[in-house]
Amino acid sequence: MKSNVGKLLSTAAIAATISAGAMAATLDDVKAKGFIQCGVSQGVPGFSNADSDGNWSGIDVDACRATAAAIFGDAQKVKFTPLSAKERFTALQSGEIDVLSRNTTWTYTRDTSLGLDFTAVNFYDGQGFMVRKDLGVTSAMDLDGATVCTEQGTTTELNMADFFRKHKLSYVPVVVQKADEALAAYASGRCDVFTTDKSGLAAHRTKLASPNAHVILDETISKEPLGPVVRHGDNQWKDIVTWAMFVQVNAEEMGITSKNVAKIKSETIDPGVKRLLGVEGDMGAQLGLPADWAYNIIAKVGNYGEVFERNLGSTTPVDLPRGINKLWTEGGVMYAPPVR
């Protein structure tokens, strides 16, 4: 009886929140309340991380800021909700947040069965392994019999299992609820290996006592396209979040940065650039946004290259190589449909 009552109550609570969250157009809600509620991680340097004053930074944070710049012309009109890996989808489904930008991998099951839609990819990642240098391991194939620490509630658990099964290697899994505690277990010697997305490995390595004593193995065992997620069924909102990302990639391709965008806007004769920056035509209206929406994204947040350098580049502690996240014109896979 106790459990039945509990079930009924929780059903009621979830039913109430879902019905409240799903129906209205997100853009109208966001405009009415004056800010975007953005779901982020509980702290992954370079992706979404709060400093000691509570200011958030990272490329996932900038995805939300770009959307805010497009809607309000002000990149600061964002409030952040830190979420664990397993809370994140429920938070979005229930309407607690407007967009989930939390290094979340785009997979078939998530796209089709969760009532969610992935928008654009803002980081192409892949899962890797980190080990102590003194173990002398050079390849993931040497990991037979190792103990592996990972965070719970992510795609990494399944990738790890698939990798070891595929190569008939034995292993001991230690699955910890939160990333920081998984890392602590690895640091304490409970595990030989720590596994997550390679970007995450680089970010987490900066938190260890002596980062140089640990090495990230070359193998990439999975495809992890990361990007912002929205609720299924609100196409206008999905388009806004998607194109906020595409604008940044297009801007980098056209050589428009946050520093020269004002100058270019007043001087350009290129019709493509004029369309993008809202000098000619009214691209914004099709999304329900002001004409200078793309200009605001570039001016307030920057193009994709700037965002990457600021958060993950060689001047940051994370220091990730740009790799396949270079523009397609430079040998990477970052390619955005044109604005026209």
Partner 1 sequence: MSEKTTSSNKSFLNDAANRALIFQIVLLAVVVFVGYYLFSNLQANLSDQGISTGFAFLNQPAGFPVLLHLIDYTEADTYGRAFVVALINTVVISLMGIVLATIIGVIMGLARLSNNWLVARLATVYVETLRNIPLLLQMFFWYFAVLATLPIPKNSIIFGDFFLNKRGIYSPNPITQDGFSVVIAGFILSLVASIALIVWAKKRQTRTGLWFPAYWSSLGIIVVITFLALAVAGFPIEFDLPQKSRFNVTGGMVLPPEFVAVLVALSTYTGAFIAEIVRAGILSVNWGQTEAARSLGLKDSLTQRLIVLPQALRVIIPPLTSQFLNLAKNSSLGAAIAYPELVAVVMGTTLNQTGQAIENIGLCMLVYGTLSLTISVFMNWYNKKMSLTER
DSSP state letters, 63-104: HHHHHHHHHHS-TT-EEEEE--TTTHHHHHHTTS-SEE-SS-
Closest approach of Cβ 19 to partner 1, in Å?
5
Nearest C-alpha neighbor of 70 from the set 311, 315, 286, 226: 286
Q: How far is the CB of 201 from partner 1 (least distance, A)?
A: 19
Please report how close the Cβ of residue 119 comes to partner 1 at its closest, in angstroms.
16
What is the Cβ-side half-sphere exposure of residue 203, based on CA atoms within 13 angstroms? 22
Element (H, E) at 171: strand 171-176
Residue number, 7 or 33, with CB nearest to partner 1: 7
Smallest separation, CB 138 to partner 1 (Å)? 13
Q: Looking at beta carbons only, is 3 or 212 nearer to partner 1?
A: 3
Record the tokens describing residue 116, joined without a space.
């969610």
| Nearer to partner 1 among residue 185 and residue 339 (C-beta) | 185
One-letter amino acid identity for 291?
A
C-alpha 124 chain-centroid distance: 10
Nearer to partner 1, 184 or 216 (CB): 184
Query: Nearest 5°: CA angle at 332, between 329 and 338?
Result: 55
CB of 34 to partner 1, least distance (A): 26
Token pair listed for 250? 């297009």
Q: Which residues are at the interface with partner 1 (CB under 8 A)?
A: 2-4, 6-8, 10-12, 14-15, 18-19, 22, 85-86, 89-90, 93, 109-110, 112-115, 135, 143-147, 152-154, 157-158, 160-162, 165, 170-178, 181-182, 184-185, 188-190, 192, 231-233
Q: State which residue, 11 or 314, has the beta carbon closest to partner 1.
A: 11
Task: Name the minimum Å distance from CB 37 to partner 1.
Answer: 18
Contact criterion met (CB below 8 Å) for 95 and 24: no
Nearest-angstrom CA–CA distance, 230 and 71: 16
Beta bridge partners of 132: 214
Cβ closest to partner 1, residue 187 vs residue 324: 187
What's the CA gap between 81 and 304, in Å, rounded?
23
State which amino acid sits at residue 217: L
Nearer to partner 1, 20 or 262 (CB): 20
Smallest distance from partner 1 to CB 99, Å: 16
